[in-house]
Amino acid sequence: MNELVVKTLSSDFELDGTKLPKFPFVMDKYGNPHVIINRFLREYHAFKKENDSELTILPAARNIVSLFNQLDQTFISENAKDMKRGESCTG
């Protein structure tokens, strides 16, 4: 399992000449950044929408990380018995 976490960067964080104080940064448990999620948070929330890091971007990052971690824990099996049990839950 590759669980993701959200770390808040410093209040002096700056990217491409734009100050992004306390920007939430998504990384795995080994400290590797999640490039796609961070790009989305940066380009959509920070640059396009000009959202506030603490009020808007941080909750968005936490929601994305929570969903990712839940999906990462989902068990999928090719076993016919497991598939039949899963069908009864969804159908």
What's the confidence (pLDDT) of residue 7?
95
Residues 6, 69 contacting (CB under 8 angstroms)? no
* pLDDT grade for 86, boundaries at 50, 70 and 90: low
Bridge partners, residue 27, by sequence:
5, 33
- Report the pLDDT value the prediction gives residue 63, as an integer from 0 to 100: 97
CA distance 81 to 11: 53
**Cα–Cα distance between 12 and 84 in angstroms, integer?**
54
Residue 56: pLDDT band with limits 50, 70, 90: very high
